[in-house]
Amino acid sequence: KIVGACRKAGTKFTDTEVPVTTKPTKCLYKCRLFPSDDAPAPSMWKRSSEISERPQMFVDGVQAGDIQQGELG
């Protein structure tokens, strides 16, 4: 439903529950190895399509070690 609405409108989805542009420090992953309450906010956010012409989460399928709770392998 969301994909269809975005395609029809010619826009990309923006998750309002993850405010990366208005409150970037609320969206940061806290590293369990180096916990810090004052992690710096990134200087910019990019969509995967801005980094690669054909972004892929997993290549040649998903392997057991690719996903770990709280992080990607």
| Residue 30, pLDDT score | 57
Q: CA distances (Å), 37 to each of 28, 29, 70, 72, in order?
A: 10, 11, 17, 22
| Residue 31, pLDDT score | 58
| Residue 34, pLDDT score | 60
CA 42 – CA 49 distance, rounded (Å)? 18
Give alpha helix (H) positions in 1-73.
2-9, 48-51
Each of the 73 residues of the chain gets a pLDDT tens digit; together they read 999 999 999 998 988 877 777 776 666 655 556 656 666 666 777 888 889 998 888 888 888 877 776 655 5
Question: What is the three-class DSSP state of 68?
Answer: strand
| DSSP code, position 29 | P
Where are the chain's structural domains? 1-33
